[in-house]
Amino acid sequence: MISKAEDNQSVKRRLPQQGRAREKIALILEAATRLIEQRDIKSLTTNAIALKAGVSIGTLYQYFADKDAILRALVDHEMAGIAKRVSEELHSPPPTVRGERVRRVMRAVLGSYGGRHRAHQLLLEYSLSRGTTGQLAPFFAALVEILSTQGVTRPGGGKKVLSEADAFVLTHAIAGVLRGFVASAAGRVSTRNIETSLARLVVGFVEEA
């Protein structure tokens, strides 16, 4: 039989099973996002987050072990949003303007919630530095499938269906550009210019394939 002391030691951090708990977690995550938007991730502290959220530090620790746990939750939220937008774009009707889907996919990845571009950018950089962008893998796989089965709309109509190898190379070229842009080029090169160059790369690749 488990003793009371052992039972107390085994109590796990409270999970968001009730509406009130979910509300507190939402407050904490919203407060962290606002602080990141205003400052940066390095200066973020659990005390500052708790103060901004209007909860005690003890309440915060009931739901999150530390700052990294909060950041992981925020990254999961960001990645889920990106994945949803990419999925919607990949399954939308093909555009008639060449290179337009590439531009849309890039916007889906780089788009921010509620105009909070800085927070979105910093969280993407944080996720990249820790290799936590795995949630996008299924959607890059979907892009490979689309390119190798449905193909790409070509100028003047008609479609070009790529081999699986070409589709894989092209998809991961796009993914690499996006990762590189987030990690180092953001702020130095305009998003519009990156979209144009990436679309030209994709169109040229498809026409040569």
Q: What is the pLDDT of residues 93-121, one digit of tens each?
A: 777 777 787 788 778 777 654 556 788 77
Average pLDDT over residues 121-140: 73
Is pLDDT above 70 for 203? yes
pLDDT given for residue 53 in this prediction: 95
Lowest mean pLDDT of 14-18, 39-43, 61-65, name the range.
Answer: 14-18
Amino acid in position 195: E
pLDDT given for residue 186 in this prediction: 61
pLDDT above 70: percentage of residues in the chain: 80
Domains and CATH numbers, the chain: 14-64 (1.10.10.60), 68-209 (1.10.357)
- Asked if 160 and 89 touch (Cβ cutoff 8 Å), the reply is no
Q: How far apart are CA 197 and CA 195, in angstroms?
A: 6
* One-letter-per-residue 3-state SS of 7-50: HHHCCCCCCCCCHHHHHHHHHHHHHHHHHHHHCCCCCCCHHHHH
Give residue 5's pLDDT band: very low, low, confident or very high (50, 70, 90). very low
What separation in angstroms does the CA of 88 have from each of 80, 91, 140, 142, 147?
A: 12, 5, 13, 11, 16
Please list the alpha-helical segments (H only) found in the chain.
4-9, 19-38, 46-53, 57-63, 67-90, 100-110, 117-129, 137-149, 164-180, 191-208
Is pLDDT above 90 for 25? yes
Q: Does the pTM exceed 0.95?
A: no
State the Cα torsion 180-184-187-189 to the nearest 10°. Answer: -50
Give residue 4's pLDDT band: very low, low, confident or very high (50, 70, 90). very low
